[in-house]
Amino acid sequence: MLFIDNNNITDPRINLAIEEYALKHLDIEQTYLLFYINEPSIIIGKNQNTVEEINADYVDEHGIHVVRRLSGGGAVYHDLGNLNFSFITKDDGDSFHDFKKFTDPVVKALKKLGLHAEMSGRNDILVNGKKISGNAMFSTKGRMFSHGTLMFSSEIENVVAALNVKMDKIQSKGIKSIRSRVTNIKDHLENKELGMEEFKQLLLSYLFEEFATIPRYELTEKDWEMIHKISAERYQNWEWNYGKSPASNVELSNRFTGGSVDIKLHIVKGVMKECKIYGDFFGVGDVTDIEQRLIGTRYDRGEIEAVLADIDMQYYFGAVSREEFLDLLY
């Protein structure tokens, strides 16, 4: 097994591209271990509806990345207090779905730190009965990876806020994330002064304990060129991060001082395909005009604002303000 150094990059769009590149382009017979830490981001499962999983207001306000990964499973929040690990290896026909094979070394390493760590259920690692790690897998063309999170000192209140969807009601074919009781590893360590970098190095030394020096794979200039290409084409691409979301029906409603507004949307691949607006507001214009403007528009705050920029909202919604309508819609 070789360790891949990601040069301490914290951009999730690059880190996921490193993982994909190693999976698809490095030596098929070799096993690799990748560690990476992401700045605040929500990493969406392959089969999930992005819109359903995030608190869009919180995400926009705090500049949180939203990136879809290759593997299935639920949405997870990453920040600088979360260490991610990925075992990239040959798919031998037995390893896929065998989470224990890949989590066991991590559990053993955590135990060496004095933690009461154990695997739980299908793909979680617990410390003192609380979740500190969720794991997922992906396989393609004879190769696979098993990757997971390790919550070391994450801002748990941000985890809850970022994944707390504001929608009144949403129905989707996507898989809803299971909210679990979580904890930070650092809270259970005897040495409360241990920092993330020290934790990372200790974990690495335990995982490679049979080696005097840790064997590494150094990414070449050509590797990095390909990684940045993958990042641009996939992980920085709106179509991948939002457009792959399964079809969903969204119902939004609120009562303002200027009257109530109810909006019903049908969203396909991140685009509003149907829109109906109801309410007891007092406007002059026919809201069908607004509905037609919105149909065909990406379900994205910036895109919605742009398409309605030249509309006199008072003409259509009376005392319901532009901001109130936009905040309800997205």
Q: Are both 221 and 114 inside the same structural domain?
A: yes
Angle between helical axes of 99-112 and 196-207 (0-180°, round to 10): 120
Q: Are both 271 and 227 inside the same structural domain?
A: no
Q: For the chain, what is the mean pLDDT?
A: 92
Q: Are both 230 and 164 inside the same structural domain?
A: yes
pLDDT at 178 over 60: no
Q: What is the pLDDT of residue 52?
A: 81
pLDDT at 64 over 70: yes
Q: Which of 1, 14, 66, 19 is nearest to 40 (CA)?
A: 66
Q: What is the mean pLDDT of residues 168-188?
A: 69
Q: What is the mean pLDDT of residues 110-136?
A: 95
Q: Which of 258, 276, 256 is nearest to 266 (CA)?
A: 276
Q: What is the mean pLDDT of residues 64-74?
A: 93
Helix, strand, or coil here: 288? helix
Q: Are both 281 and 322 inside the same structural domain?
A: yes
Does residue 165 contact residue 55 with C-beta atoms inside 8 Å? yes
Sequence-distant (≥ 6) Cβ neighbours of residue 12 within 8 angstroms = 38, 39, 41, 43, 65, 67, 78, 235
pLDDT at 174 over 80: no
**Lateral strand order in the sheet of 259-268:** 169-172, 248-256, 259-268, 271-279
Q: Are both 70 and 209 inside the same structural domain?
A: yes
Q: What is the mean pLDDT of residues 6-21?
A: 99
pLDDT in tens, 28-55: 999 999 999 999 999 998 888 888 889 8
**Percent share of the chain, pLDDT over 90:** 78
Q: Are both 51 and 103 inside the same structural domain?
A: yes
CATH classification of the domain holding 11: 3.30.930.10
When divided into structural domains, the chain yields a total of 2
Binned at pLDDT 50, 70 and 90, residue 173 comes out as low
pTM equals: 0.83
Q: Are both 183 and 149 inside the same structural domain?
A: yes
Q: What is the mean pLDDT of residues 222-231?
A: 99
pLDDT in tens, 239-265: 999 988 878 899 999 999 888 899 999
Residue whose tokens read 């008072």: 314
Give the residue numbers spanning the domain of 300.
Answer: 248-329
pLDDT in tens, 78-99: 999 999 999 999 999 999 989 9
What DSSP string runs through 260-305? EEEEEEEEETTEEEEEEEEES---SS-THHHHHHHTT-BS-HHHHH
pLDDT in tens, 260-306: 899 999 999 899 999 999 988 888 888 999 999 999 999 999 999 99
Q: Which one of 243, 267, 302 terminates a domain?
A: 243
Q: What is the mean pLDDT of residues 109-119?
A: 97
Euclidean distance between CA atoms 239 and 299, whole angstroms: 11
